[in-house]
Amino acid sequence: MTLVKTKIGRRAFIRNTGLASGGLVIGFSWLASCKMTPEQVSSLPKEWFELNGFLKVGDNGMVTIMSPNPEIGQNIKTAMPMIVAEELDVAWKNVIVEQAPLNTDIFTRQLAGGSQSIRQGWESLRMAGATAKQMLKEAAAQAWGVSANEITTKEGILSHEASGNSAGYGEMASAAASIEVPEEVQLKETKDFSIIGTETKNVDGKKIVTGQPLYGLDVYKEGMLTAMIVHPPAFGMTYKGMNADTVKSMPGIKDVFHFEVYPEGIEKQWSDQGGIPELVAIVGDSTWECMQAKKALEVEWEQTSKAESTAYHEEELLALLEKPTETPARKDGDVEAAFKNAAKIVESTYSAPYLAHNTMEPMNFFAHVTPEKAELLGPIQTPEFAEKTVAARLGMPVEKIDIMMTRMGGGFGRRLYGPFVIEAAVISQKMNAPIKLVYTREDDMTQGTYRPSYKVKYKAGLDADGNLIAWHVRGAGTNDSLIFEDRFPAGAVDNYLAEKHSLNTNVTTGAWRAPRSNFIAGAEQAFMDEVAEASGKDPIEFRLELFDRAINNPVGDPKKNDYDPERYAGVLKLVKEKSDWANSNGKARGVSAYFCHDSYVAQVLDLEDGGGDMPRVEKVFCAVDCGIVINPLGAKNQIEGGIIDGVGHSTFSAMSFNDGKPEQSNFDRYRLIRHSEAPKNIEVHFVDNGIDPTGLGEPSLPPVVAALSNALYKATGRRYYNQPFINERPPLVG
């Protein structure tokens, strides 16, 4: 047993003394916010007893567990409560899960981003369950006059073997609510887990497949108006004027006005990145009426900064690739000298375009601002930051801002940036009415906060025996410097130089699923394949030799290296075995491995025979080391999704610009992967090592880009350097 001080999120465990006397919690909007299935309704308790901020126990033993973080499809609404339930020792069928509102007094990090929810929540979620279990034991000990240490628990039942006493959690819940919160709790040994590690279905599954209202766009409230925005048609433009009179008289239109989202001097948070300072709002009775008015409205814009085109970004990024940096990001040994002595030199340049996030549910938010308070409800990955800007913008104290999160129709980083929350609040305040702000798909796709466009140039030197003696990488991105200088192969090559440039542009960019890694992994692992080929070695053996070097005789300070070479090599060896690497059955096959979000992923990808220049992916074997897997069913779904996402975007997707204007605004011109293009089979294997869990929502995407391009090389004899790969097909001849 591990004794752990209940220090993390301590406030969550200190109950309001006003409640502790009776222990009864009334209120909570959970009955109104979630429709119960008939089985659950019949077993609802008469009273709930809150044991800490994460959970409450009903008088019949049902338990409600709050899922603190935003749900964007990463399935933490199932996984986080599983961790609480594990330590509480309650049967999963007796658990009701509820989305927690934003409450920074109770929860420590209510954010969806960086694949960190489980990593960061691991200890506090376990403690929440273990603390409540200890309080239930204490209550039973007092009732039975025995020592709490002699009481055991299993699936919501407290037992004392010597006296023969036993009781359900529900019977002790009232008494437990007045027990002092323990200073220390015992956590389970991983071998004793009975919920963690079991395949558990999505807690919202039934509601999703029956079309229940779950998402921000599904919010409809009494007296609510619909609001839309009109933003500049091109980056570099700002509002000049409009004639709204004809539009204001259109059916169902209540108002059309220009407004400042971010007036001069307003304190912004990082989540306000990409926000457009001035917009036009259209407010009306219904969505279709607003859409009609939006089409009819003529707004005048003026060019206030450079009108940038894709050709300009390309030229500038290429120029940066030729330019040494004054201070390298990392320098080991002397690459120039090593290149002079090298028997072979390999050099390649890779590129990728801007990408839109394209969550299936476009940006939206409900706001009801009155002089007394601001009620906000909708899909946001960073509610805590949005709340601060809303308060600053409305001139209200943070305590009067109430943010609730809905389930989100995708995130992928887009909803880290919440200017739309501020916009909704300002529009509601101006209208003095509840409103739901809705972006059209076109608003969503042309408004920015894109994945930056990137270029990277690699140069490697091999000695006469095919050993890697020098590695030089120089990368550049729009508003982003791209390179992770301390990741592999840093530490495995004597002479190593990493340089990074950033090109300032007015096309707004931000985090997109596995930021930077989503490009650099594909480039690095494709280049690694070229270098392995030049060395005459098998691509997996070539990588394993480098990991051996990093394990046995690392270059530089090994603590500086941002990866564990043993775990890295571990996933490669596992995927080698599972894919029967040596026996490809004649399939064009590629390998790739990458580390990000503290997790390790290796993939072997096979292409279908006879697919021409762009054959379909037949199968992906994937080995993952993300430590303890909470819910293998959901975890595999994330890995599969990341693989399809990576194959899809690197093959088909791109945003481009002409004089600042996005050239794609909907799915007719922005191509996303579809059913008939998706990998046919994906086989996922997790490393079972009992290490604390690490990231899962992002790490499978980055490496698959190179697994694909390396397989395409095997199929076609040509290297695919530039994304989207669909454009790399040779022109038809004759």
Residues that bind another protein (CB under 8 A): 72-75, 199, 201-202, 204-206, 208-215, 217-218, 220, 226, 251, 286-289, 291-292, 358-362, 407-412, 440-441, 633-634, 637-638, 640-645, 648, 666-668, 672-676, 678-682
Residue 214 Cβ, how far from another protein at the closest point, in Å? 7
User: Would you give the DSSP letter of residue 469?
Assistant: E
Q: Which helix (H) or strand (E) holds 252?
A: none
- Least CB distance to another protein at residue 719 (A): 25
Distance in Å, CB of 734 to another protein, minimum: 30
**Residue 604 or 644 having the CB closest to another protein:** 644
Measure CA 499 to chain center. 27
Q: Report how far apart the first and last C-alpha atoms of the chain are (Å, whole number).
A: 74
Buried b or exposed e, range 614-644, using 16+ CB within 10 angstroms: bbbbbbbbbbbbbbbbbbeebbbbbbbbbbb
Q: What are phi and psi of 58, to 5 degrees?
A: -85, 160
State whether residue 341 is helix, strand or coil: helix
Task: In angstroms, give the least distance from the CB of 679 to another protein.
Answer: 7
Query: Two tokens at 195?
Result: 């919920």
Least CB distance to another protein at residue 618 (A): 12
* Per-residue CA distances from 20 to 184, 242, 291, 648, 685 (Å): 20, 59, 52, 53, 47
For the bound state, the minimum distance from the C-beta of residue 287 to another protein, rounded and expressed in Å, comes to 5
Cβ at position 333, least distance to another protein in Å: 41
- The amino acid at residue 239 is Y
Angle among Cα 438, 514, 437 to the nearest 5 degrees reads 5
**Residues ≥6 apart with Cβ < 8 Å to 7:** none
Residue located via tokens 């075995």: 577
The rounded distance, in Å, linking the Cα atoms of 381 and 73 is 11
Kindly give the residue spans of alpha helices, DSSP state H, lying in 165-286: 169-176, 205-209, 245-248
d(CA 105, CA 10): 9
DSSP at 56: E
- Torsion region of 701: left, alpha or beta (phi above 0 gives left; psi -120 to 50 gives alpha): alpha
Residues written for the chain: 734
Question: What is the phi/psi pair of residue 531, to 5°?
Answer: -70, -40
User: What is the β-pairing status of strands 599-607 and 589-596?
Assistant: antiparallel
Distance CA 586, CA 519 (A): 29
| Min dist. Cβ of residue 350 to another protein (A) | 23
d(CA 631, CA 5): 26
Q: What is the DSSP letter of 181?
A: P
Q: Which residue shows structure tokens 């409103």?
A: 435
CB of 283 to another protein, least distance (A): 14
- Least distance (Å) from another protein to the CB of residue 74? 7
> How far from the centroid of its chain's Cα atoms is residue 235's Cα?
26
Smallest distance, another protein to C-beta of residue 678, A: 4
Decide if 225 contacts 431 (C-beta within 8 A): yes
With contact defined as beta carbons under 8 Å apart, do 547 and 492 qualify?
A: yes
Is 46 or 675 the residue whose CB approaches another protein more closely? Answer: 675
Q: How many CB atoms lie within 10 A of CB 386?
A: 29
We find the least distance from the C-beta atom of residue 665 to another protein, in angstroms, to be: 10
3-class DSSP assignment, residue 719: coil
Please state the separation of Cα 292 from the chain's center in Å. 34
Q: How far is the CB of 637 from another protein (least distance, A)?
A: 6
Closer CB to another protein, 363 or 468, in the complex: 363
Residues forming beta bridges with residue 404, ordered by sequence position: 377
Tokens linked to 91: 């049967």
**What tokens appear for 404 in the block?**
């609730």
Look-up of token digits 């999120």: 9
Which residue's CB is nearer to another protein, number 436 or number 487?
A: 436
Tokens, residue 145:
């006059």
Tokens of 348: 């390649």
Please say which residue, 638 or 716, places its beta carbon nearer to another protein: 638
Distance CA 624, CA 348 (A): 28
To 10 degrees, what angle do helices 117-144 and 76-88 make? 30
What is the nearest approach in angstroms of another protein to the Cβ of residue 677? Answer: 9
Question: Residue 213 or residue 233: which is nearer to another protein going by CB?
Answer: 213
Bridge partners of 501, per DSSP, are 476
State the nearest-atom distance from the C-beta of 648 to another protein, in Å.
7
For another protein, the closer CB: 160 or 415 = 415
CB of 85 to another protein, least distance (A): 18
Cβ distance to another protein smaller for residue 50 or 645: 645
